[in-house]
Amino acid sequence: MSQHCYKRILVLSPHTDDGEIGAGGAIAKFISEGVEVYYVAFSSCEDSIPVGFSKDILKFECKEATRILGIKPENLILFDYEVRTFPEHRQEILDDMVKLNKRINPDLILIPSSNDTHQDHQVINREALRAFKKTSTIWGYEHPWNNLTFTTDVFLKLDDIHIMKKVNALEAYNSQDYRTYFDEYYIKALSYTRGSQVDFKYAETFELLRLLVL
């Protein structure tokens, strides 16, 4: 039985795949409970696609991955910022977020952790805090290989079905197959580890950055 009251959740993903990696289980669980989930990716990383794939492959893979998680096609928004240039586009990114807030009015947003070392992830974290701090509860999601440290404040209990949806969604990223964290064993092991902190079989954890209580 779920103990939250979120109706509209917005996932802010610097690059296609970051949101599924950090919160794929949560997305699957929230959707199974009837929550409206929106997913925004700010870049499809056309400048860092492995040889042999088309430059826009990540857009297609992201459409498929988010479909597997249950996100409606009309709730998927893809922007075209170039990978690793977000610090040069802070104001445009903030403007996009302010518009998203007006349009979607999310009660919860999921963003990269405050301790993420990737420059694009840092921009999404900082600008999202500016755009949403007065209107939404904010959780930071976990990318262990990018996080210098990570505070496990929020534990979201996940069932096998949510973990399998996350595994299947990440399998849609054929172009990223070589990365460890797309691997089923890795996804299950991390969720199992996080679950063990609170006696859940599986969990995803989040840093609590803002909590609005109605």
Instruction: Say how many residues touch Zn ion, by CB under 5 A.
Output: 3
- Listed ranges 2-10, 13-21, 166-174, 181-189: which one lies at the site for Zn ion (CB under 5 A): 13-21
Our CB check for Zn ion shows the closer of 155 and 181 to be 181
Rounded to a whole number of angstroms, the minimum distance from the CB of residue 94 to Zn ion is 18
What DSSP string describes 104-164? H--SEEEEE-TTB--HHHHHHHHHHHHHHTTT-EEEEEP-TTTBS-----EEEEE-HHHHH
Least distance between Zn ion and beta carbon 45 (Å): 8
Closest Cα to residue 90, out of 126, 118, 54, 66? 126
Binding residue for Zn ion, selected from 16, 18, 203, 205, defined by CB under 5 A: 18
- State the minimum distance, in angstroms, from the CB of residue 5 to Zn ion: 30
Which residue, judged by CB position, is nearest to Zn ion in the bound state?
A: 15
18 vs 127 by CB, closer to Zn ion: 18
- Residue 94 main-chain phi, psi, to 5 deg: -60, -45
Residue 168 identity (one-letter amino acid): N
* Under 8 Å between Cβ of 212 and 137: yes
CA-closest candidate to residue 11, choices 1, 56, 175, 29: 29
Decide: is 25 part of the binding site for Zn ion (CB under 5 A): no
Q: Is the dihedral of CA 129, 132, 137, 138 positive or negative?
A: negative
Q: Does 19 bind Zn ion (CB under 5 A)?
A: no
CA 8, distance to chain mean position in Å, is: 15
Nearer to Zn ion, 39 or 202 (CB): 39
Smallest gap from residue 81 Cβ to Zn ion (A): 12
Nearest to Zn ion of 85, 196 (CB atom)? 85
| Nearer to Zn ion (CB atom), residue 21 or residue 167 | 21
Residue 14 interacts with Zn ion (CB under 5 A): yes or no: yes
CA 7 to chain CA mean position, Å: 17
| Contacting positions for Zn ion (CB under 5 A) | 14-15, 18
